[in-house]
Amino acid sequence: MQTLQKVLTHYGLHSDVPASFKKRDELLERLKITHQEAWEKASGYVNAHITSDRIKNDKEKQLKKPEHWESEVKTAEQALLDSEEALKSFCNKRSISIN
């Protein structure tokens, strides 16, 4: 999520308040209003993380249908990698330092 914070800081949307779900959503909404493409990449990245975490933490499915769960985990991890790559590519094109 450091990459997301760097994107928000680049666009002047950083906050000294510790990160929370509510604060992150508020910052993303402000980004959506001012920089649509940045918002698309950033929200895709956040949503991929949330989806991946939810699937990985679904212990009931993991126990009852492990083969289905493993397939979902792999799909979610690939979506996460794709969204991360898209965000990094966006940052590189816009000269946003993420290192």
The whole-model pTM stands at: 0.84
Instruction: Give me the count of residues in the chain.
Output: 99
Task: Confirm whether 5 is domain-assigned.
Answer: no
- In tens, the pLDDT along 64-96 reads 999 999 999 999 999 999 999 999 999 999 999
At residue 16, the pLDDT reads 64
Structural domain boundaries, residue 49: 22-93
Within a domain: 35: yes
Whole-number Å distance between alpha carbons of 38 and 61: 34
Tell me how many domains the chain contains.
1
Statement: residue 39 has pLDDT above 90: yes
User: Under a CB-based contact definition with an 8 Å cutoff, are residues 55 and 73 in contact?
Assistant: yes
On the question of pLDDT at 41 being above 80, the answer is yes
86 inside domain: yes
